[in-house]
Each structure stands twice: as structure tokens, then as C-alpha cells.
A and B are shown apart, each in its own frame.
Chain A
Amino acid sequence: MDDQQLNTASNSEAKVVVKNLHKVFGNKPELAMQMLNDGKHKDEVLKQTGQVVGVLDASFEINKGEIFVLMGLSGSGKSTLIRLLNRLIEPTAGSVIVDGEDVAQMSTEKLLNLRRKDMSMVFQSFALLPHRSVIENAAFGLEIAGVDVKEREKRAMQVLEQVGLHTFAKHMPSQLSGGMQQRVGLARALTVNPSLMLMDEAFSALDPLRRTEMQDVLMKLQQEQKRTIVFVSHDLDEALRIGNRICIMEGGRVVQVGTSDDILQRPADEYVKAFFNGVDTNKYLTAKDVAQKEQVTIFERPDDPAAGFSAALERMRMYDRVYAFVLDDQHKVLGAVSAESLMACVNKRGKKLRDALLPGISAIPGSMPLNQVLQKVVEYPCPLPVVDDNGEYIGAITKTVLLRKLCKETKA
């Protein structure tokens, strides 16, 4: 191991360390690299040499067990970058260190072994083999690795069960819907039991409902066994929903890496800001424009302030919410409760509903401009309750709702 490798291994939590990674498409990559090293812009390189710079000096670390989302518009190099990680595309320069070993310098034999045993991939178009049944597709990785039929189909069956497709094992892929096909794609990737999974726009071809469903499947699998997942997406909602950290790319460059809060609060540049904020629509949109009545509300009964714990818990469970707002009989927001805070008070003598309120939660006026709302949404653990001029509850704003609204405004 050389010095550089020791240095990059400084973060013991890092599963993947990408350092100064470049990809130049064309027949004279050395020339292009020379020009880039001399500080020339990639547009200049294209103009003078005809070489296309796909990924430009990418450096970042991916932690063990996290979902790392590569985000950017089409042409930003995110799909190229993910393919450099398993060398579906050969890097021009730089290193991709996975568990201390540089994939970019690896021998063919070692690379094959890594792909077979520890690193798998899920594709946007599912890329199932049409002439094979579901179970044969799911067992594909093990078949390539030379595992015998009985063993590999047993393992494939277990994974198909995990993704809820075991009853379709003998079907052909063409007989399944898109969502189910991608479950097979996911099963194929999971069957080899990899510690690192690459997912290239894995859910982008699905309709929004199926997409959310698949995200849930992925999150559940992630709870059962923590894997490191690199997830390419152009969907902001998706990135915020499943990503532990997000890497924003533009024109082959990594612009910013951080948690969604980091990026929301401290966008690195105008591009990132534009990605999240839209074109300053937040200047004229206000809180009441985006507030939605999707949250559970609980009324405090003036005659019996200790009642309502069980009903509140039941309704939160029913609507699958972690938080609920407590209103008085005038529809004024008293605060928010969580399932946890309710549980702490339930069946305890002398506890009132008010005792379960979370500290520091207050409603915001509906007239608050969105750029201020953005700040608040990031700070709040729960959705942000919004009240009208009379102080009455009109709805709540979640991170997802807010960002979706902003995205729509940007597109319009």
C-alpha cells in the first residue's frame, strides 16, 4: 500500500473513496487530460481536441451503510460516474478505492471477482434477460460465479421472498408489470449478497406510485441488512426520501456533497440553489400556498383535558404518521405531539394531552414567505403547522411537500 492509499483510508467509515476521478470520451484522452491539468476548461478541450469530458476531477467518500444519491440533470455525468465505480466504463485518471483497493488499477481477475461477489447493479430499464424466468434472472449473478443450480436457486428464492415475488418465480419477465420487473432486478442484485449496490435511475422508469413503493421496499431491505448503496437519480423527492447524503453534479463536476439539510441550508453555488429553490419563486409564494391538510390533528377537549391519548395514537397509526397537531376548540394550534411523547403519557395518572406536547413547536403565520419557511422546515423535526390571520390551523408543510412545490414552480 502506498502513502496515498493510507491517506485516503483516513476515514475508517468510508466504503468507497473516489479521488480525482476523470473520464474523457474520445481517442486522445491523454491530450485532453494534459489540457485539463493545465487548467483548461472542458469546453475548450472539446473545441480543440474533440474529446468529451464526461467526469471531471470527482472526489468524495461514501460511508459504510449509507444511501449515497448522485443527483443532477441529464448530461451531468452521474450515470457515467456510477459506471466508473464498477468499471463498466474505464476511468481515464484517478482512483476508486473500495474497501482499501483501487478498482481502477485492479487486475481483470480481481475485478470479475469483485463484481461477482461484492458489488452489484440495478438498471433503469431493468435489463432483465428476457429468455430467462424470474428465478433464473434472480440467480444470474450466482450462476456467473459458478454456484450450482440447487444452491443458487435456493438463495434466489429467499431473496424473491424478501421482495415479495416468490409466487412469480417461474414466470417470464415479460409477464410482469414494470414495478414487478424492477423487483426482479433488485432481487438479482441482492442474491449475490453484495456489500455495495449501484442503482442507476433504478426507479425512474416507474410511475410515481410504484416508485414510492419501490423506495419503501429498498428502505425496508436496508433496515434488515445495511448495505452501502450508490443511487443515481434526477428526482429531488427521491433523493430527499431515501438519501443519507446527496452528491450534486453539474457538467461532469461534483458541485456539492452533503446531507439534504446541509445542501438546503448551505448551497455551494447558484446551481445547487437553483436545483433546490427554483427561480426565486419563494419570494412571492407564502406558507399558506403550500400548506396541506394531510396531517393528523387532535382536538383537546375543554371538559376533559386528559382524554384522547389512545384515539390519537390509533389515528396516527391509521394514517401512518409519526406526528400529530393538537388544536383547541377554537382551532388554535397548541403544539405537536409524537407517537413517542404520547406513549410516555398514556395510562399515567394526572397526565393531560398538553403534557405530551413537544417543546419548541409553534405555528407559523400563513403569510410567511417561502424562503423563511425553508429555514424553519429544515430546523423542525416534525411538519410545520401553519395558521391563518386569526390563528386558526390551515394545514402543515412537510419537507417533501415544500420541495415538490418549489420544483413545480421552477419547471413552470
Chain B
Amino acid sequence: MSYKIPIGEWVAAGVKWLETNDHGLLDKLGSVIQTATGAIENGLMLIPFWLLALVFVAIGYWRLGWKFALFCAASFLLIDNMGFANQTVVTLALIISATLISLALGIPLGIWAGRNDRAEAIIRPILDFMQTMPAFVYLIPAAMFFGLGRVPGVIATVIFAMPPVVRLTSLGIRQVNKEQVEAGIAFGCTPTQLLFKVQIPSAMANLFAGINQTIMMALSMVIIASMVGAGGLGNDVLSSISRLDIGLGFESGLGVVLLAIMLDRITESFGVKRAAKS
């Protein structure tokens, strides 16, 4: 039993090959992501922090009532008071970028998996892989490919955050009442009509749950992604760890928690309302 299957060597060789033979494809991908995420971050930076806070308060009031609006206001005041205003905006921009990419890829994949058993059989183990493979393992190669900065951070975040929306979209499509689907077909739906008029609307509650989960996953990952220079609140967490600064660690961690609670409750409220409707 001295023979070891050289899995590690294969992967390392594969990565090396990709690095030298991608004809600049990865660079192009990287610059696209860089530009897009940069635009989102710069856009958010243009908005004064108090206005951003006001937007959250307003949405909080609209979706969940005055108590939650009050919580949003208090959270933003505290974040500002602790001196994390800029970092919070950067983190938010990273989350938005990663979430948008995750949804753009994940929802179509989820729909495909929901309508096709073979697709589901192929996609599921890949999702397991993406979710459970320790993040550092692909964070390092990502940094090798794209250099330090936002791009490897966003890519690593997408890898980690995309699975929930794929899974829940697929589940939602599969859970649509069988007779509702039959009704769609019986009244002459084409497959596309069936998808947009019957399956997706009925799967909305699940789809929103998936979006919510993806946002939460993205939030937890962008903190780790600061290790490759993604920036934001993660930077403070990281530097507090390296300096054993317990106070700063707690403060920056609290900022993450507050942002998480706000994003979670607000996105969740969209799904719940839909679930209640049906």
C-alpha cells in the first residue's frame, strides 16, 4: 500500500497549466470583475453614509415596521461611532457584487436542475464541493490567478455563496404542485411559458429564501476574503487578530453582525410575504 494516488499533484499541475495556457482569458475575466465591482463600490461611496443609513431605515420601515427601522438607525449610528463607516460600505459593495454574480449564475442553474434530473445529478455534488471545500484552499489559487485584491475575494465569495440559491431554486421548481404544472400544460403552455407563468411564480418563496441565504453566505465569506486583500470590515477583523487586539476584534465583529441582521431580516421579509400569499 505504498502507492498514493497523486490527486494533489494533478490539481497543482492543472492549476499551473491553466496559469500558463489560458491565453489571458482569466486576466480578462478578472478585469471585468474588477471593473464591475469597482463601479459598485465607487457608486456606493458617492452616497453619503447618512443617506445610505436612511435608505436602510426606510426599507426597514416599509418591510418590517417602525421597530426595525429604529434598529437600523441605531445600528448605523453605532457603526459610524465605532469608525467603521467606510469599511462597512466596502463590505456592502463586495456583498452586492458577489451576490449579483451568484444570482446571475445560480438562478439559471437552479432552474435547470429543477427541471432536469440529470442536470440535478451532475450539479449537486459540485455544489457540495463548493460549500464544504475549506475556503482557504481555493482562496490561494484565486489570488495566484487574479492577484491580490477585490477580484479573488469576490470569486471565492461567489464559489461559497452560490450553492444555496441553486439548491433552493431547484427545490422550489420541484415542489410546485404537480397538478398546477399539469394545468399549465393542459392549457397549452410551451416549456418557456410553463417556466415563467407557472413554475417560477410558484417557486418564488423558495427562490427568495435562496437569495437570502446567498447574501448571508456572501457576508460571512467577504470577511475571510479580506485575507487576499478584498478590504472592508474584514481588514479590521484580520488586523485585530494579528495584533491580538480583542477590543477592536469585537467592535469590527459587531459591525459585521449588525450588517448581517439588517440584510437578513430585510431580504427574508420579501420571501415571507410571498410565502404567506400562496
Contact = CB atoms under 8 A, between A and B. Distances in A.
A145 interface: yes
Interface string A119-138: 01101111111111000000
Contact of B179 (A123, A140, A145, A172): A123
A256 B274 CA distance: 48
Contacts of A121: 182-183, 186-187
B132 to A, nearest CB: 34
B183 A174 contact: no
Interface residues of A, number: 31
A142 to B, nearest CB: 9
A127 B187 contact: no
A145 B204 contact: no
A112 B184 CA distance: 11
Interface in B227-278: 274, 277-278
Contacts of A144: 184, 187-189, 193, 197
B201 A192 contact: no
Interface residues of B, number: 21
A347 interface: no
A120 B182 contact: no
B190 interface: yes
A174 B184 CA distance: 19
Given A123-B182, A125-B179, A144-B193, A131 B187 contact: no
Contact of B198 (A112, A125, A129, A145): A129
Interface string B54-77: 000000000000000000000000
A124 B187 contact: no
Label chain B's interface by main secondary structure: helix
Interface in B53-112: none
Given A144-B197, A172-B277, A174-B278, A127 B183 contact: yes
Contact of B182 (A127, A129, A141): A127
A145 B186 CA distance: 12
Contacts of A120: 186-187
A120 B193 CA distance: 17
Given A127-B180, A131-B277, A131-B278, A88 B185 contact: yes
A398 interface: no
A406 to B, nearest CB: 32
A86 interface: yes
B197 A130 contact: no
A203 to B, nearest CB: 15
B18 to A, nearest CB: 40
Contacts of A129: 180, 183, 197-198, 201-202
Contacts of A128: 180, 183
A131 B189 contact: no
Given A88-B182, A125-B177, A144-B197, A130 B277 contact: yes
A72 to B, nearest CB: 19
B278 A140 contact: no
Nearest to B183: A127
Given A123-B183, A127-B183, A113 B202 contact: no
A18 B246 CA distance: 80
A19 interface: no
A116 interface: yes
A226 interface: no
Given A127-B180, A130-B277, A131-B277, A141 B202 contact: no
Nearest to A185: B183
Contacts of A174: 277-278
Interface in B186-224: 186-190, 193, 197-198, 201-202, 204
A124 B190 CA distance: 23
A55 B180 CA distance: 23
B179 A130 contact: no
Chain A CB count within 10 A is highest, among B177, B184, B187, for B187
Interface of B: 177, 179-180, 182-190, 193, 197-198, 201-202, 204, 274, 277-278
24 contacts: A83-B182, A86-B186, A88-B182, A112-B190, A115-B185, A115-B186, A115-B187, A116-B187, A117-B188, A121-B186, A123-B182, A127-B177, A128-B183, A129-B180, A129-B183, A129-B197, A129-B202, A131-B204, A131-B278, A141-B188, A143-B197, A144-B189, A192-B187, A198-B186
Given A115-B187, A125-B179, 5 more contacts: A123-B182, A126-B179, A129-B183, A131-B277, A174-B278
Interface of A: 83, 86, 88, 112-117, 120-121, 123-132, 140-141, 143-145, 172, 174, 188, 192, 198
Which 8 pairs show the lowest CB-CB distances between chains A and B? Answer: A116-B188, A130-B278, A115-B188, A127-B179, A121-B186, A127-B183, A141-B187, A131-B201
